[in-house]
């Protein structure tokens, strides 16, 4: 037998999936995360799930996990003792940043504390011109003296970032050589190797963060690999990257920054995979949990990546899934502000004391309490009976903190709480779609996380989205994403030039370099040539603009015709994003990117046959559930998801309960269970309106 394991590490729980690749059976386990050392929960969880399912350790053929080591080191400021070497005159660049303050009106909101304190930032005499020509040669003796000093101070990591190194790395290379010679044991992070892109501040920031995380990641990789080996698992583990793919764990030593926001990646990969099983390639993922919601957009099966994101206030240029995180979830607290408006979050009741209805001492009304009052959540218990719910306490909290002060009924107040939190979600989805030039109505919403399926219908309606998928196990399906992830390496090179025929050879050469490097890495990973793919894109702009749009190269070498097509593609992208284009304006090419993708073998997920004659699904019971609009409370059927069969249909209004979530189906929506036991939902009203329009 062969078994695949996926481990998703969350703040509260670590989810583990175990797939028997021959019998196509999927087992799952949820264990409490160990915050101090996340690998403890991972190792213990893997042991438990293997023992429970009587699997031998050597039968494990694949292991992928998410790691929060880098994320936590940044949040807790537990990175390495890091120093910076940069061009003379620019040691304060990291602190000045782009000279904006973090809040326009709030004087008390500070910039993030610097990762390099106490004068560990050093300047060396050297300078390049804008085109890479040498203006002032590198003072190598000065570099050597600095390195000696850093060695004496027991520095653990050195970041090197000099001006214009992206176009001519000669000085950074020499600096690195001097460090290697004089201080070989120190961790090194060199800007032109990590992100050879123009704009010095984000490049420096990325390089420094990477250095700060390097030594810790190195230690973690060693420990984790050893404990896996000690268990008897013979495969090398993979780890998730922030770009929505996996990479072999040893590779993360060079660029740990690539794992820094990998937390939500697994969910996005899983959602993409589940949607593709259903034949859907354009989706918006909506992962709503206890304290926050993560939203991302997938176009034609491809995740939207961004190189403009910040981590803890520092810009990071390595590609990350373009995820918009909202500080609102099931545990978020609802409150009235001084002007009498109803707000939800960002404060959260968290796991302790939790919502009032959990009866663990929570006094503040939360989104969960509102859902209990409205009958959307089971008023007696959740988690399949494992946890008691006190509807009276939910009522009391909303009455005391909200409705008694607004002269409204408890139910109206609860409906208000839900409307506000939904409007926050709608705004967040608009940011990820409309602001990037996408029309959300052309997408399918994939709702998961503990609270996603409760809010999805209303959010979708507001956005004009008329189709939706609720995966088979929305509360714990992220770990499944790790079973189906691809391997990916990202490369970039900056070279600013006008898009003209005489540049074609140079463009091809730049790409060839990067593709060759990707080829080498995928070879190392043992990916067969037939499963390798190289996505080549260029960040381009109109001359004199200072903001780029990405265009995708056709396969093969670029020629005259290809270049013309590329230019036309840019005009159209510009039109789509900004409503105009300018065909007379020359195009400037800025960054050249290659994503080297290694497609991993995808396991088959359990699939159920459609039965000839399906029984009508029977509700387990009915309860009053509140819906917006004229209806108010409706005597609503409640189904248990475990009893639903592939092919069965349910019309809203309805509630479906399962161990890890509750699904609310609004009136006008119709649900159908597919062969993978996903629930497909359609808004009949919008569908009808559209038919009429056409």
Partner 1 sequence: MKGKKTSKADPATIEIIGNLLLSIAEEMGAALIRSAYSSNIKERKDCSTAVFDAAGRMVAQAEHIPMHLGSMLTIIAEIYQRYPAKTIKEGDMFIANDPYHGGGTHLPDITVAAPVFVGKKLMAWVANIAHHSDVGGKVPGSTSGDAISIYQEGIRIPPVKFCQDGLIIREIRDLILLNCRTPQERTGDLQAQVAANKVGIKRLLDVYKKYGTDFDFYIEELLNYTEKRLKADIKKISNGVYYFKDYMDNDGINPQKVPIAVEITVQEEHISFDFSRSSKQVTGPINVTMNGLYATVFYSLKALIDPDIPSNSGIYRVFDLIVPEGLIVNSVAPAPVGERIDTCMRVVDVIIGAMAQAIPDRVIAACNGACTTGTFSGIDPRTNEFFVYLETIGGGLGASSQSDGMNGVQVHLTNTSNLPIEALEIEYPLMVERYMLRQDSGGAGEYRGGLGIRRDIKTLAEDITFSALADRQEIPPWGLKGGMAGKSGAYYHISSGQRSKLSSKTSNQRLKQGDIISIQTPGSGGYGHPQKREKEAVCRDMIEGKISRTSAEKDYGVKLD
- Interface positions with partner 1 (CB under 8 A): 88-93, 95-96, 98-101, 103-108, 110-111, 117-119, 129-130, 135, 163-164, 166, 198-201, 336-343, 406, 408, 412, 415-417, 419-420, 423-424, 427, 430-431, 434-435, 496, 542, 544-547, 574, 577-580, 582, 628
Q: How far is the CB of 422 from partner 1 (least distance, A)?
A: 9
SS3 571: helix
Q: How many angstroms from the chain centroid is the CA of residue 322? A: 7
Minimum CB separation of residue 634 from partner 1 in Å reads 18
Closest CA to 437 of 321, 548, 574, 570: 574
Contact 495, 510 (CB under 8 A): yes
Residue (582 or 618) nearer to partner 1, CB: 582
- Check residue 613 and report its DSSP letter: S
**Bond preceding residue 585 cis, omega within 30 of 0:** no
**Which residue, 57 or 335, is less far from partner 1 as judged by CB?**
335
**DSSP-derived pairing of the beta strands 654-658 and 661-665:** antiparallel
| CB atoms inside a 10 Å sphere around CB 442 | 12
Smallest distance from partner 1 to CB 308, Å: 11
Residue in the structure block whose two tokens are 């919008």: 686
DSSP lists the bridge partners of residue 294 as 287, 325
Q: Min. distance of Cβ 150 from partner 1 in angstroms?
A: 15
What are 177's two structure tokens? 């050589």
Among 292, 278, 381, smallest CA distance to 662 is for 381
- In the complex, the smallest distance separating the C-beta of residue 202 from partner 1, rounded to whole angstroms, is 8
Residue 161's DSSP bridge partners are: 86
CB 343 to partner 1: min, Å: 6
What is the phi/psi pair of residue 588, to 5°?
Answer: -110, 130
- CA–CA distance, 578 with 250 (Å, rounded to integer): 42
Residue 607, helix vs strand vs coil: coil
Smallest gap from Cβ 166 to partner 1, in A, equals 8
| CB of 407 vs partner 1, minimal distance in Å | 9
Closer to partner 1 by Cβ: residue 46 or 84:
84
Write the DSSP assignment of 400-455 as a string of letters.
Answer: IIIIHHHT--HHHHHHHHHHHHHHHHHHHHHHHTGGGT--GGGSEEEEEHHHHHHH
CB of 108 to partner 1, least distance (A): 6
**CB of 104 vs partner 1, minimal distance in Å:** 5
Sign of CA dihedral 660, 32, 295, 595: negative
DSSP 34: -
**Of 67 and 591, CB closest to partner 1:** 591
Residue number, 185 or 584, with CB nearest to partner 1: 584
Q: Strand runs (DSSP E) across 615-660, as ranges?
A: 621-627, 632-640, 649-651, 654-658
Q: Give whichever of 229 and 343 is closer to partner 1, judged by the CB atom.
A: 343
- When the beta carbons of 412 and 531 are compared against partner 1, the nearer one is 412
Shortest spacing between CB 201 and partner 1, in angstroms: 6
42 φ, ψ (degrees, to nearest 5): -65, -50
CB nearer to partner 1: give 385 or 586.
586
User: In terms of DSSP bridges, do strands 654-658 and 632-640 run parallel, antiparallel, or are they unpaired?
Assistant: parallel
Count the Cβ atoms, other than its own, within 10 Å of residue 501: 10
Please identify, using beta-carbon distances, which residue of 407 and 609 lies nearer to partner 1: 407
Beta-carbon contacts of 524 under 8 Å, excluding residues fewer than 6 positions away, are none
**Rounded least distance, CB 94 to partner 1, Å:** 11
Q: Which helix or strand (DSSP H or E) is residue 574 part of?
A: helix 560-578
The beta strand positions in 454-548, using DSSP E, are 467-470, 487-498, 532-542
Which of residues 329 and 345 has its CB atom nearest to partner 1 in the complex?
345
Contact between 123 and 86 under an 8 Å Cβ cutoff? The reply is yes
Choice between 61 and 423, CB closer to partner 1: 423
- Checking phi first, is residue 70 left (phi over 0); if not, alpha (psi -120 to 50) or beta? alpha
* DSSP-based three-state secondary structure for 589: strand
Q: Give me the least distance between CB of 403 and partner 1, in Å please.
A: 10
Q: How far is the CB of 98 from partner 1 (least distance, A)?
A: 4
Task: Tell me the residue ranges of DSSP E strands in 3-81.
Answer: 3-9, 13-20, 25-32, 60-65
Nearer to partner 1, 622 or 631 (CB): 631
Nearest distance from C-beta of residue 106 to partner 1, angstroms: 4
Q: Looking at beta carbons only, is 370 or 470 nearer to partner 1?
A: 370
The least distance separating partner 1 from the CB of residue 490, rounded to whole angstroms, comes to 21
Task: Considering only CA atoms, give the Rg of the chain.
Answer: 27
Sign (positive or negative) of CA dihedral 26, 32, 37, 40: negative
Cα torsion 434, 436, 442, 447: sign = negative
Q: Reply yes or no: is the peptide bond before residue 653 cis, omega within 30 of 0.
A: yes
- Indicate the residue among 416 and 475 with the shorter CB distance to partner 1: 416
Exposed/middle/buried for residue 279 (C-beta within 10 Å: 0-12, 13-18, 19+): exposed
Q: Which is nearer to partner 1, 32 or 435 (CB)?
A: 435
CB of 404 to partner 1, least distance (A): 13
Judging by DSSP bridges, how do beta strands 444-448 and 283-288 pair with one another? parallel
Rounded Cα distance between 675 and 666, Å, is 23
Structure tokens at 315: 């810009």
22 versus 442: smaller Cβ distance to partner 1: 442
Question: Please, which residue, 345 or 471, has the CB nearer to partner 1?
Answer: 345
């Amino acid at each position: 037998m062969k078994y695949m394991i996926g481990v998703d590490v969350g703040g509260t729980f670590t989810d583990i999936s175990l797939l028997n690749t021959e019998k196509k059976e999927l087992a799952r386990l949820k264990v409490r995360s160990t915050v101090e050392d996340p690998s403890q929960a991972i190792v213990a969880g893997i042991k438990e799930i293997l023992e429970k399912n009587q699997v031998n350790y050597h039968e494990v053929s694949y292991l992928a996990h998410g790691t929060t080591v880098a994320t936590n080191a940044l949040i807790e400021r537990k990175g390495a003792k890091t120093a910076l070497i940069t061009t003379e005159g620019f040691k304060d660049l990291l602190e000045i940043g782009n000279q904006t303050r973090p809040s326009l009106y709030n004087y008390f909101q500070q910039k993030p504390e610097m990762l390099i304190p106490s004068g560990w930032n050093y300047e060396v005499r050297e300078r390049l011109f804008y085109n890479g020509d040498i203006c002032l040669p590198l003072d190598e003796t000065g570099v050597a003296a600095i390195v000696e000093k850093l060695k004496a101070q027991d520095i653990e990591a050195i970041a090197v970032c000099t001006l214009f190194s992206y176009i001519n790395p000669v000085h950074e290379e020499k600096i690195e050589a001097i460090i290697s010679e004089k201080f070989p044991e120190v961790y090194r992070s060199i800007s032109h190797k990590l992100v050879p892109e123009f704009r010095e501040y984000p490049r420096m920031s990325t390089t420094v963060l990477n250095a700060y995380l390097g030594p810790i990641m190195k230690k973690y990789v060693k420990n984790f690999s050893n404990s896996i080996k000690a268990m008897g698992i013979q495969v090398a583990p993979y780890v998730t990257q922030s770009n929505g793919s996996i990479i072999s764990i040893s590779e993360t030593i060079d660029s740990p920054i690539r794992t820094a926001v990998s937390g939500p990646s697994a969910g996005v990969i899983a959602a993409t995979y589940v949607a593709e099983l259903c034949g859907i390639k354009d989706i918006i993922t909506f992962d709503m949990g206890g304290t926050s919601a993560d939203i991302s957009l997938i176009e034609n099966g491809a995740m939207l990546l961004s190189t403009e994101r910040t981590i803890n206030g520092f810009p990071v240029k390595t590609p990350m899934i373009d995820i918009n995180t909202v500080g609102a979830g099931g545990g978020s607290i609802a409150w009235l502000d001084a002007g009498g408006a109803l707000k939800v979050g960002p404060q959260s009741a968290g796991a302790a004391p939790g919502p009032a209805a959990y009866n663990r001492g929570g006094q503040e009304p939360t989104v969960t309490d509102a859902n209990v009052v409205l009958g959307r959540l089971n008023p007696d218990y959740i988690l399949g009976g494992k946890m008691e719910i006190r509807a009276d306490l939910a009522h009391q909290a909303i009455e005391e903190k909200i409705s008694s002060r607004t002269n409204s009924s408890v139910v109206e107040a609860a409906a208000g709480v839900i409307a506000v939190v939904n409007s926050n979600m709608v705004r967040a989805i608009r940011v990820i779609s409309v602001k990037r030039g996408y029309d959300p109505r052309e997408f399918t919403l994939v709702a998961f996380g503990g609270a996603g399926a409760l809010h999805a219908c209303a959010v979708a309606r507001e956005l004009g989205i008329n189709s939706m998928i609720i995966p088979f196990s929305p509360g714990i399906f992220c770990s499944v994403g790790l079973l189906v992830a691809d391997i990916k390496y990202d490369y970039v090179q900056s070279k600013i030039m006008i898009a003209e025929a005489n540049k074609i050879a140079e463009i091809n050469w730049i790409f060839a370099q990067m593709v060759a490097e990707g080829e080498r890495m995928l070879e190392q990973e043992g990916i067969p040539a037939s499963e390798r793919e190289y996505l080549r894109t260029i960040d381009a702009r109109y001359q004199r603009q200072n903001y780029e749009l990405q265009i995708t190269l056709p396969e093969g070498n670029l020629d005259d015709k290809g270049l013309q097509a590329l230019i036309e593609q840019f005009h159209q992208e510009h039109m789509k994003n900004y409503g105009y284009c300018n065909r007379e304006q020359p195009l400037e090419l800025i960054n050249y990117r290659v994503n080297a993708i290694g497609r991993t073998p995808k396991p088959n997920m359990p699939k159920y046959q459609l039965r000839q004659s399906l029984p009508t699904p029977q509700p387990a019971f009915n309860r009053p559930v509140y819906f917006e609009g004229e209806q108010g409370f409706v005597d609503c059927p409640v189904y248990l998801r475990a009893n639903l069969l592939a092919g069965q249909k349910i019309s809203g209004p309805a509630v479906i309960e399962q161990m890890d979530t509750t699904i609310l189906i609004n009136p006008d929506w119709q649900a159908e269970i597919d062969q993978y036991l996903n629930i497909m939902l359609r808004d009949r009203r919008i569908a009808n309106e559209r038919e009429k329009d056409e």
